[in-house]
């Protein structure tokens, strides 16, 4: 008698018949679990009933935890009002913008979007319009979305890092060549690009902490130097806080480091899982989006959608009214980082632990890890194996190289301790099998 396939596997194979690759975003394919059927708090359940403690957190979008009642209740109430009419402006859009301006230090005005990619696309277009310059600078390892202006040089192999490494076919050469690549935490590499392209660089865009390659922590000298350099050169400074925003502090990482960019993109955690994002910045810049007198296009049927705006308002309001959220998640994140470092030291594994707030990452590389060049030493095979085995043990971690993990507001001290016990067992097993460098 043939053993029936697991439900999740059958769902994935069915999806492959009608969805290219079986997933609607390339990084969603992780093998087991193939399909998630339920989520609550810090846990998710797959289509076959297996339960996982979730550190993936939908790439960081789940900040308060899955199905947070404060957010879901606000969304449910919004359904009793206006849905989508495409005319005028609603109260929820206004309140969302007011909260953003109140909470993010550099924000004087805001526009709404539905994804981080849309927000960074608007930032780059606006920067080019304001400066009348064609080029932008991004950093090797930073990810700013799928659009042509920035779809290059993220997790690049050694042979393509800092050179031409597009994320997709179909991007015009001119688009690729209009984006210059610098090294994170290396102000000299940025200065060299300004010197090589005088009065042609419109903006420098960066993740203040490049979480798309784990967690490269910026030096204060670097972020302050970027602020001074861009002002001197007449370029805009854009913080992409799609991941760091609201997760690390109520005002994003710019609140932590005390550096105010000209523009800030944000999303993901802002709506605790609902599709919402935005761009904020100085009033004189943002007014270029004004349909009556401005010259930069702002369009999008779903921008400021009542459901998404309600989710964002509820999430931001909760964070504003519960400052202990950051105390808790930062404490748990630090316990996780110290615990992993202790395990690696005990076992004699060549590894470095990094992260900030509730984010943690275990690099299989020796210190330092300041820029992407340091990450080229990471043992990606070990990294994948560690995440795969942790997931198989019931702790959901994205099994891709250089990906971060997230502690949400729903995680507990016991969750962290159990995770560390499992990590000890997994690393000890990998060491015994000769899969780790000592």
- Catalytic residue positions, numbered: 143, 240, 268
Give every CB contact of residue 123 below 8 A, 6+ residues apart in sequence: 203, 205, 238, 240, 263, 265, 279
In sign, the C-alpha dihedral spanning 183, 184, 185, 189 is positive
Pick the closest to residue 395 from 410, 413, 415 (CA basis): 415
DSSP state of 245: B
Q: How far apart are CA 242 and CA 263, in angstroms?
A: 12
Total number of residues shown for the chain = 438
Q: How far apart are CA 336 and CA 416, in angstroms?
A: 6
Task: Give phi and psi for 272, each to the nearest 5.
Answer: 45, 50
> Interior CA angle at 170 toward 164 and 176, to 5°?
35
DSSP state of 169: T
Residue with tokens 């921008």: 303
Q: Taking the chain, what is the end-to-end CA distance rounded to the nearest angstrom? A: 47
Q: How far apart are CA 367 and CA 354, in angstroms?
A: 10
- Tokens representing 376? 């080229």
């Amino acid at each position: 008698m043939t053993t029936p396939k697991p439900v999740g596997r059958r769902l994935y194979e069915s999806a492959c018949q009608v969805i290219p690759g079986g997933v609607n975003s390339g990084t969603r394919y992780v093998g087991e679990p193939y399909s998630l059927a339920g989520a609550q708090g810090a846990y998710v359940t797959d289509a076959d009933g297996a339960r996982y403690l979730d550190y993936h957190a939908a790439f960081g979008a789940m900040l308060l935890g899955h199905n947070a009642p404060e957010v879901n209740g606000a969304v449910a109430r919004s359904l009793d009002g206006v849905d989508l009419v495409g005319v005028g402006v609603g109260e929820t859009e206004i309140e969302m913008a007011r909260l953003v301006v109140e909470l993010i230090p550099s924000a004087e005005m805001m526009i709404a979007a539905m994804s981080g990619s849309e927000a960074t696309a608007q930032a780059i277009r606006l920067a080019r319009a304001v400066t009348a310059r064609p080029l932008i600078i991004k950093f090797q390892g930073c990810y700013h979305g799928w659009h042509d202006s920035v779809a290059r040089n993220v997790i690049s192999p050694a042979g393509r890092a800092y050179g031409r490494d597009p994320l997709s076919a179909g991007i015009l050469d001119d688009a690729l060549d209009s984006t210059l690549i610098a090294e994170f935490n290396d102000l000299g590499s940025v200065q060299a690009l300004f010197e090589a392209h005088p009065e042609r660089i419109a903006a420098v865009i960066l993740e203040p902490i490049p979480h798309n390659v784990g967690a490269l922590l910026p030096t204060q000298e670097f972020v302050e130097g970027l602020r001074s350099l861009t002002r001197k050169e007449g370029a805009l400074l854009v913080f992409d806080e799609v991941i760091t925003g609201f997760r690390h502090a109520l005002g994003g990482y710019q609140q932590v480091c005390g550096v105010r960019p000209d523009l800030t993109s944000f999303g993901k955690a802002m709506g605790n899982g609902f599709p919402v994002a935005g761009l904020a910045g100085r009033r004189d810049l943002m007014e270029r989006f004004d349909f009556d007198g401005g010259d930069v296009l702002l369009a999008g049927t779903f921008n400021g959608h009542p459901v998404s705006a309600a989710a964002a308002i509820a999430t931001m309001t909760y964070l504003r009214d519960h400052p202990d959220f950051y105390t808790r998640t930062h404490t748990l994140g630090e316990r996780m980082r110290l615990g992993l470092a202790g395990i690696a030291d005990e076992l004699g594994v060549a590894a470095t632990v990094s992260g900030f707030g509730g984010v943690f990452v275990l690099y299989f590389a020796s210190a330092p890890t300041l820029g992407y060049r340091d990450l080229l030493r990471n043992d990606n095979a070990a990294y994948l194996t560690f995440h795969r085995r942790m997931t198989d043990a019931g702790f959901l971690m994205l099994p891709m190289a250089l990906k971060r993990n997230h502690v949400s507001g729903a995680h507990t001290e016991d969750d962290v301790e159990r995770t560390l016990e499992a990590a000890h067992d997994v690393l000890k097993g990998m060491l015994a099998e000769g899969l780790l460098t000592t």
